[in-house]
Structure 1
Amino acid sequence: MARRVLGLVAVLLASAVPGLPVQAAPMAATAMPANYPVLVKLFADWRRTVLPPVADGKPDYSPAAMAKLGSDLKAFRARLAAIDRTGWAVTANNDYRLVEAELNGLDFDLRVLTPWARDPTFYANVFADWSDVPAHEGPYAHPNIDLYAFKYPLNAADEARLTTLIAAIPANLAAAKVNLAGSNARDLWTYGGRAFAEQSDTLEKLGAGTLVMRTLDGARPAPITGAGPKLVKAIADARAATDDFAAWVAAEAPKKTGAVGLGKEHYNWYVKNVELLPYDWDAQVALLRRELDRSIAALRLEEVRNRDLPPIVPLTDPAAYARLVKAKQARFSQFLADTGLIPDAPWSRKAIADQAIEYEAPEKRNFFTHVNAYDPLPLLSHFTHWIDLARMRAEPHASPIRRVSPLFTIYSNRSEGFATAFEEVAMQAGLYDDVPHGRELVWIMLANRAARGLASLYVQSNEMDLAQAGKFHAEWTPRGWSDAASPLVGFEQLLYARQPGYGPSYVTGKLELDRLLADVSHADEVAGRPFVMRDVMKRVMDAGIIPVALIGEEIIPAGK
Structure 2
Amino acid sequence: MNLKRITPIFLIILLISACTQQEQDSVAVPEEIKNVPATYQELQAFFLEWREFLRPDEVNGIPDYSDEAMAQQYDELSDWKNRLDAIDTAGWPVAHQVDWFLVWAEMNGLEFAHRVKKPWKRDPSFYVWFFSYPTDVPEREASNAWGAVEYDYYPKPLSAEDADKISHQLRKAPALWEQARKNLTGNARDLWVLSERSFRDQSADLEQFSALMQSEHPDLAAAALEVRDASEDFADWIASQSSQKTGQSGVGKANYSWNLKKVHLLPYTWEEELTLIERELSRAHSSLRLEENRNRNLPGWEKIDSPEAYDKAVKEAIDDMMSFFEKEEILTIVPNMDPALRERAGTFVESDGLRGFFDEVIYRDPMTMRAHHYHWLDLARMRDEPHPSIIRSTPLQFNIFDGRAEGMATGAEEMFMHAGLYEGRPRGRELVWVMLAQRAARALGALHQHGLLTDFDGATQIASKYTPWGLLPADGGTIQVEEHFYLTQPAYGTSYVIGKIEIEKLLAEYARQREGQYSLREFFDEFNSKGVIPVSLIYWEMTGDRSMLDKALTESKLEDLE
Whether TM-score is above 0.5 comes out as yes
C-alpha contact 1:56 1:168 (8 A) present in aligned 2: no
What's the offset of the Cα at 1:445? 0.3
Change (3 A) 1:203 1:3: closer
> Do residues 41 (structure 1) and 28 (structure 2) align?
no
Which residue does the alignment assign to 1:467?
457
- Name the aligned partner's letter for residue 557 of structure 1: G
> Do residues 535 (structure 1) and 522 (structure 2) align?
yes
> Do residues 186 (structure 1) and 173 (structure 2) align?
no
Deviations 1:366-424 (A, max 9, x none): 11111111101111110000100001111111100000100000000000111000000
C-alpha contact 1:6 1:26 (8 A) present in aligned 2: no
- Name the aligned partner's letter for residue 255 of structure 2: H
Paired with 1:502 and 1:328, the residues of 2 have a C-alpha distance of: 28
> Do residues 171 (structure 1) and 171 (structure 2) align?
no
C-alpha contact 2:12 2:49 (8 A) present in aligned 1: no
Which residue does the alignment assign to 2:267?
278
- Name the aligned partner's letter for residue 27 of structure 1: E
- Aligned equivalent of 2:211, options 204, 208, 211: 208
Q: How many positions carry a matched residue from both structures? A: 529
Which residue does the alignment assign to 2:444?
454
| Map 1:197-346 → 2, pairs under 5 A | 197-209=200-212, 223=213, 225-227=215-217, 229=219, 231-346=220-335
Which residue does the alignment assign to 1:480?
470
Partner of 1:104: helix, strand, or coil?
A: helix
> Do residues 111 (structure 1) and 115 (structure 2) align?
yes
Paired with 1:85 and 1:48, the residues of 2 have a C-alpha distance of: 23
Which residue does the alignment assign to 2:559?
none
| Map 1:37-76 → 2, pairs under 5 A | 37-55=41-59, 57-76=61-80
Runs of 5+ consecutive residues of structure 1 not aligned to the other structure: 12-23, 210-222
> Do residues 89 (structure 1) and 93 (structure 2) align?
yes
Change (3 A) 1:363 1:54: same
Paired with 1:9 and 1:139, the residues of 2 have a C-alpha distance of: 31
> Do residues 367 (structure 1) and 357 (structure 2) align?
yes
Which residue does the alignment assign to 1:98?
102
Paired with 1:312 and 1:518, the residues of 2 have a C-alpha distance of: 35
Deviates more, 1:374-383 or 1:67-76: 67-76
C-alpha contact 2:12 2:45 (8 A) present in aligned 1: no
What's the offset of the Cα at 1:176? 0.8
Which residue does the alignment assign to 1:510?
500
Change (3 A) 1:131 1:57: farther
- Aligned equivalent of 2:134, options 127, 130, 135: 130
Which residue does the alignment assign to 1:20?
none
C-alpha contact 2:400 2:534 (8 A) present in aligned 1: yes
Paired with 1:8 and 1:349, the residues of 2 have a C-alpha distance of: 38
C-alpha contact 2:15 2:45 (8 A) present in aligned 1: no
> Do residues 378 (structure 1) and 368 (structure 2) align?
yes
Partner of 1:343: helix, strand, or coil?
A: coil
- Name the aligned partner's letter for residue 447 of structure 2: L
Change (3 A) 1:233 1:324: closer
Paired with 2:258 and 2:300, the residues of 1 have a C-alpha distance of: 47
Which residue does the alignment assign to 2:555?
none
- Aligned equivalent of 1:414, options 404, 413, 421: 404
> Do residues 27 (structure 1) and 17 (structure 2) align?
no
C-alpha contact 2:209 2:221 (8 A) present in aligned 1: no
- Aligned equivalent of 1:139, options 143, 160, 164: 143
Change (3 A) 1:139 1:520: same
What's the offset of the Cα at 1:236? 2.4
Paired with 1:128 and 1:4, the residues of 2 have a C-alpha distance of: 27
Paired with 2:60 and 2:139, the residues of 1 have a C-alpha distance of: 23
C-alpha contact 1:3 1:9 (8 A) present in aligned 2: no
Paired with 2:476 and 2:13, the residues of 1 have a C-alpha distance of: 45
C-alpha contact 1:452 1:472 (8 A) present in aligned 2: yes
What's the offset of the Cα at 1:312? 2.7
Paired with 1:46 and 1:224, the residues of 2 have a C-alpha distance of: 40
What's the offset of the Cα at 1:54? 2.6
Which residue does the alignment assign to 1:15?
none
TM-score, scaled to structure 1: 0.90
Which residue does the alignment assign to 1:391?
381
- Name the aligned partner's letter for residue 423 of structure 2: D
Deviations 1:76-109 (A, max 9, x none): 1111011011101100000000000001100110
> Do residues 501 (structure 1) and 494 (structure 2) align?
no
C-alpha contact 2:33 2:41 (8 A) present in aligned 1: no
C-alpha contact 1:4 1:37 (8 A) present in aligned 2: no
C-alpha contact 2:15 2:42 (8 A) present in aligned 1: no
What's the offset of the Cα at 1:122? 0.4
Paired with 1:175 and 1:296, the residues of 2 have a C-alpha distance of: 48
Which residue does the alignment assign to 1:216?
none
- Name the aligned partner's letter for residue 166 of structure 1: L
C-alpha contact 1:57 1:164 (8 A) present in aligned 2: no
Paired with 2:339 and 2:218, the residues of 1 have a C-alpha distance of: 35
What's the offset of the Cα at 1:6? 7.2
- Name the aligned partner's letter for residue 266 of structure 2: L
What's the offset of the Cα at 1:224? 5.2
Deviations 1:253-289 (A, max 9, x none): 1211111110011111111000000111001000000
Paired with 2:32 and 2:125, the residues of 1 have a C-alpha distance of: 39
TM-score, scaled to structure 2: 0.90
Which residue does the alignment assign to 1:357?
346
Partner of 2:243: helix, strand, or coil?
A: helix
Overall identity of the aligned pairs, in %: 38
What's the offset of the Cα at 1:152? 4.9
Change (3 A) 1:559 1:327: closer
Paired with 1:307 and 1:337, the residues of 2 have a C-alpha distance of: 32
Partner of 1:358: helix, strand, or coil?
A: coil
Change (3 A) 1:90 1:362: farther
What's the offset of the Cα at 1:549? 0.7
- Name the aligned partner's letter for residue 121 of structure 2: A
> Do residues 520 (structure 1) and 507 (structure 2) align?
no
Which residue does the alignment assign to 2:424?
434
- Name the aligned partner's letter for residue 83 of structure 1: I
Partner of 2:336: helix, strand, or coil?
A: helix
Change (3 A) 1:435 1:152: closer
Deviates more, 1:495-504 or 1:355-364: 355-364
What's the offset of the Cα at 1:228? 5.7
- Aligned equivalent of 1:401, options 391, 400, 403: 391
Change (3 A) 1:313 1:9: farther
> Do residues 551 (structure 1) and 551 (structure 2) align?
no
C-alpha contact 1:3 1:44 (8 A) present in aligned 2: no
Deviates more, 1:339-348 or 1:64-73: 339-348
C-alpha contact 1:9 1:400 (8 A) present in aligned 2: no
Deviations 1:527-560 (A, max 9, x none): xx71221111111111001100100111113599
C-alpha contact 1:152 1:224 (8 A) present in aligned 2: no
Q: What's the Cα RMSD here?
A: 2.2
